[in-house]
Every structure is written in C-alpha cells, then in structure tokens.
Amino acid sequence: MIAVTNFPPKQIADFISEVLILGVVIGNGDAVVLLQTERDVPPGSRIL
C-alpha cells in the first residue's frame, strides 16, 4: 500500500486522520483500487 504520512493531523468526522492512503477510482466510479508497489520496497521510500 502507498501512503503519505507527513500531513498534519486533521479532524475527519469523529476521528483524527494522520495518513493519506492512495487509490484510484475504476469503472463507473463504483470501485476503488488501492495503489501498491510491484515489489518489496523499504518503508519510508520516496514516492516520485
């Protein structure tokens, strides 16, 4: 899974969010696929 973790905490509904998980909408907008790497990479690697 690919996530951005250096955002400041933000109130979302009734919880605090501290991470942004990246995904794409497919089809007619009725499904979301989480982005992932094609092979193992070290945690904290830079996303380009």
- Which pLDDT score, from 0 to 100, does residue 46 have? 85
Per-residue pLDDT, 24: 94
Q: What is residue 14's predicted lDDT score, i.e. its pLDDT?
A: 95
In angstroms, how far is CA 15 from the centroid of its own chain?
17
Whole-angstrom Cα distance, residue 24 to residue 31? Answer: 8
pTM: 0.60
| Predicted pLDDT at 43 | 86
SS3 11: strand
Alpha-carbon distances, residue 22 vs 11, 35 (angstroms): 18, 6
Tens of pLDDT, residue by residue over 1-48, are 888 888 899 999 999 999 989 999 999 988 999 999 999 999 888 888
